[in-house]
Structures are given as structure tokens and as C-alpha cells.
């Protein structure tokens, strides 16, 4: 099924705004997607008609909000094919999800000499939490190398796996390169030596179907704001047996069973890991984002974005002085590049003046930038509401920027 892009664009009101007098061409989707009307309406409806705390109230507004919030949890369970709804934990986003595992699992189940493997291409949120936790217990974080195209070297990865390897944490899709990693193969290899496997699915959740049972991953993290949903809400999926033995990440309301000064017992899953008042409106609205994605079908979204990526890649290579950073055989809709004699920030500023929004910098992947031999890149990333005309405007804007620089 092909995407009716004109209809889709009508669902994203931000696309109607003018930037410096020009129509917005939004190509910063890897950082955060725009929000669709069903999500916007759900947030507005909650704050206008049903704003109340959830889980502990017996009045109408509290009970209504609780039902809707928990409906999202069940919706996510089906979306990623988790065995149980209580294996779905709500967090602030991918970063907090990864920190939760690092603090709750590493601190209690790793010891001095144990190893955690991450790849060169990881986002800082999939490096730093492991480093912090590893320092506390005397474990070591090791780097899985990549090749010049931006692909993980599987043979090197396999050599690194040993009885010391307790955790492997890898991005499904690189936010800086667009590389689609062979997650299933890597998970199987890690499980053979008894290691748990964490998947950073922030970039893949709205681009590819994900089945956690088929992957057999132990944990999987993603954010709502990269899938047309609200900011400030995210998900950690974890296998029930692992979550049950892990200590709470934070203390406070709702995560307890009985509190006394003689000792405290904790609530059952998932509430053990969800202390305090949550982002209720965001949690409710996330269901509508998932509904929207499924109405378009992930296979169709991926096909549309691939056509845009292929076209943009073909056109940008016609410009002298451009070098694409990240040329993996399997790529998602991320196009990062450098331009000879021009700083990415200058390129981004000049593109913005022409209504084109891209991302510039190291993209929270400084080790990767060092490996690829660049201080930073300019990154265009495409989504379901982007068009071939958007690519044409982007290319023309880039040519104008090149003339000025």
C-alpha cells in the first residue's frame, strides 16, 4: 500500500507554517518528529476535560484517566508483541529507559571484571549510563568497532563475546548514520554466552516492525517524541523474569506496597518502576500515535522513506565537495554529510533561512564522529509526511548555501 502523502500532511499542522517567509521543509525527524492531529487532540482533550491524577483515585476523573492510561500500556504490548502488559514500563524517554536498566541491573548483578559491550555508533545515552554504572561496580565498557561504511564488524563482535560479557546494548538504527544493525543475529550470539541484550529502538520504532518475542531481546527502549507522539514519555520493555528481580530505579508514590520506618515493600510490576505522578496526558496520547502509525502500516512507511532516501542520496552526490557519512548497505532514512570548506552549523543556518530544517553537530555521537574523521555533520532525516518536492527544495537550498560558503 502506498502512502497518500497529501492526506498525511493534512494531519500535521506545523507543516502549514512559514519559516523566514518560506514553507517549512522539516528534515529533522531523527531528532523529533512532528505531531499528528490525533495526538494533539488527545493532549488537549485530557487537559480540557479529564485532568486528574490516576491510579489512586476513586472519583470519575481519576478512574477515567487510569483506564485510558493503561489502555496505552496494552496498546504498546500489542504493538511490540510483548508477552504481558506489565512488561511495558513508562519512562520519560529512551534515555531514562537505558538509565533504568544501567542503574537497576548493573548495580545489583554485575561485579568487578564484568564487561558491557556497546558499539562505536551509539548515542551518548547508550554509552554514558553504562559507564557510570560500570564505575560503581568495577565493570568495564568495551567498544564494538565499525567499518568505514558505518557497519558493525560482526566478526570482531563475536570475538569480544566471552564469559565476562554480561550486557550488550546496541541501537537498532543509528541516529547519525541511518545504519540498520543486524539486531536479531547479534542477540542470538550474545545469548549463546549468557549475556543479556538491550536494544535502543529510538530510531526504529516508527520505521520498522518490532516483535520483542521474535527478537528475543531482554530489554528494549524507545521514545514517544520520535513516533509523532508527545515529548516527555517513553517506554522500557523488559522480560518479566528480569524486571521482577531488579530493584526499583526510584522511590516514591505508587511504587510501594507497604511503607514503614521498619522497612518498605514494593509494588508489583509495572508500578515498581513508575514512582510518582506520571506524564498522564503524554501516556494517553501515545496510544493515538501508535494507532496513527498502524493506520499507515509500517511497511508502507519504510517503503516511502526509502524512496526519499534513495532520491536524496542520488541528488546530493551530484554536488561537488559533498561526502556522505554513513554508507551502510542497509540504511534507514538518515542522510548525513560533510561539505568541503564549510562548517555544518553554517550550512544549517543558511538552509534554515530558506525554510529547510536539518540537524547539525555531533548528534550526541562524539565517538562515532571521531571514528569517521569528522568533527560534525549536517543531517537530513525523512519521515512519512516528506515528499520528493521537499528533497528538491533541500537540494536547491544546499546549492545556494554552497555558493555563499
Set out the domains of the chain in order of their start, with CATH numbers.
5-30+297-404 (3.90.1150.10), 41-294 (3.40.640.10)
Which pLDDT belongs to residue 142? 98
> Regarding beta strands 377-381 and 25-26, do their DSSP bridges make them parallel or antiparallel, or are they unpaired?
unpaired
Q: Give the DSSP H or E segment for 295.
A: helix 280-296
User: Is residue 364 annotated as a catalytic residue, yes or no?
Assistant: yes
Which pLDDT belongs to residue 258? 77
Rounded to 10 deg, the angle between the 388-404 and 344-352 helix axes is 120
| Rounded CA separation 353/322 (Å) | 20
pTM over 0.85: yes
Whether residue 67 is predicted with pLDDT greater than 70 in this model: the reply is yes
CA 94 distance to own-chain centroid: 6
**Residue 28: all three cell numbers together:** 529533522
Range scoring the smallest mean pLDDT among 101-105, 110-114, 153-157, 271-275? 271-275
Contact predicate 208/226, CB 8 Å: no
Cis peptide before 312 (omega within 30 of 0): no
Q: Which of 36, 171, 217, 364 is catalytic?
A: 364
Range scoring the smallest mean pLDDT among 44-53, 254-263, 277-286? 254-263
pLDDT-derived band at 399, boundaries 50, 70, 90? very high
Contact predicate 270/353, CB 8 Å: no
Per-residue pLDDT tens over the stretch 346-390: 999 999 999 999 999 999 999 999 999 999 999 999 999 999 999
pLDDT-derived band at 1, boundaries 50, 70, 90? low
Amino acid at each position: 500500500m502506498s502512502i497518500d502523502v497529501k492526506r498525511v500532511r493534512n494531519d500535521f499542522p506545523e507543516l502549514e507554517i512559514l519559516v523566514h517567509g518560506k514553507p517549512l521543509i522539516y528534515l529533522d525527524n531523527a531528532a523529533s518528529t512532528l505531531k499528528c492531529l490525533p495526538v494533539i487532540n488527545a493532549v488537549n482533550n485530557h487537559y480540557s476535560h479529564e485532568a486528574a491524577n490516576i491510579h489512586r483515585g476513586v472519583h470519575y476523573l481519576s478512574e477515567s484517566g487510569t483506564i485510558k492510561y493503561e489502555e496505552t500500556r496494552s496498546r504498546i504490548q500489542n504493538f511490540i508483541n510483548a508477552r504481558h502488559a506489565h512488561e511495558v514500563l513508562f519512562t520519560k524517554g529512551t534515555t531514562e529507559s537505558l538509565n533504568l536498566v544501567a542503574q537497576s541491573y548493573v548495580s545489583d548483578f554485575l561485579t568487578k571484571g564484568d564487561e558491557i559491550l556497546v558499539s562505536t555508533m551509539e548515542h551518548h545515552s547508550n554509552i554514558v549510563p553504562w559507564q557510570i554504572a560500570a564505575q560503581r561496580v568495577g565493570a568495564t565498557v568495551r567498544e564494538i568497532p565499525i567499518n568505514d561504511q558505518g557497519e558493525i564488524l560482526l566478526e570482531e563482535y563475536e570475538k569480544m563475546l566471552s564469559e565476562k560479557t554480561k550486557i550488550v546494548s546496541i541501537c537498532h538504527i543509528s541516529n547519525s548514520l541511518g545504519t540498520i544493525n543486524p539486531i536479531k543475529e547479534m542477540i542470538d550470539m550474545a545469548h549463546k554466552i549468557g549475556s543479556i541484550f538491550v536494544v535502543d529502538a529510538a530510531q526504529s520504532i516508527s520505521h520498522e516492525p518490532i516483535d520483542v518475542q521474535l527478537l528475543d531481546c531482554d530489554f528494549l527502549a524507545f521514545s514517544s517524541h520520535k513516533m509523532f507522539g508527545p515529548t516527555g514519555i517513553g517506554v522500557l520493555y523488559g522480560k518479566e523474569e528480569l524486571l521482577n528481580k531488579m530493584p526499583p530505579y526510584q522511590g516514591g508514590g505508587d511504587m510501594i506496597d507497604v511503607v514503614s520506618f521498619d522497612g518498605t515493600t514494593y509494588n508489583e510490576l509495572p508500578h515498581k518502576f513508575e514512582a510518582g505522578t506520571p506524564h498522564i496526558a503524554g501516556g494517553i496520547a501515545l496510544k493515538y500515535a501508535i494507532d496513527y502509525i498502524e493506520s499507515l502500516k509500517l511497511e508502507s512507511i519504510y517503503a516511502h522513506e526509502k524512496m526519499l532516501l534513495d532520491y536524496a542520496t542520488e541528488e546530493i552526490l551530484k554536488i561537488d565537495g559533498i561526502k556522505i557519512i554513513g554508507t551502510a548497505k542497509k540504511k534507514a532514512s538518515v542522510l548525513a554529510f560533510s561539505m568541503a570548506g564549510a562548517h555544518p552549523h553554517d550550512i544549517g543556518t543558511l538552509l534554515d533561512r530558506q525554510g529547510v530544517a536539518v540537524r547539525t553537530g555531533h548528534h550526541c555521537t562524539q565517538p562515532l564522529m571521531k571514528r569517521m574523521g569528522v568533527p560534525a555533520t549536517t543531517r537530513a532525516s525523512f519521515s512519512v509526511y516528506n515528499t520528493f518536492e521537499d528533497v528538491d527544495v533541500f537540494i536547491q537550498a544546499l546549492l545556494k548555501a554552497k555558493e555563499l560558503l
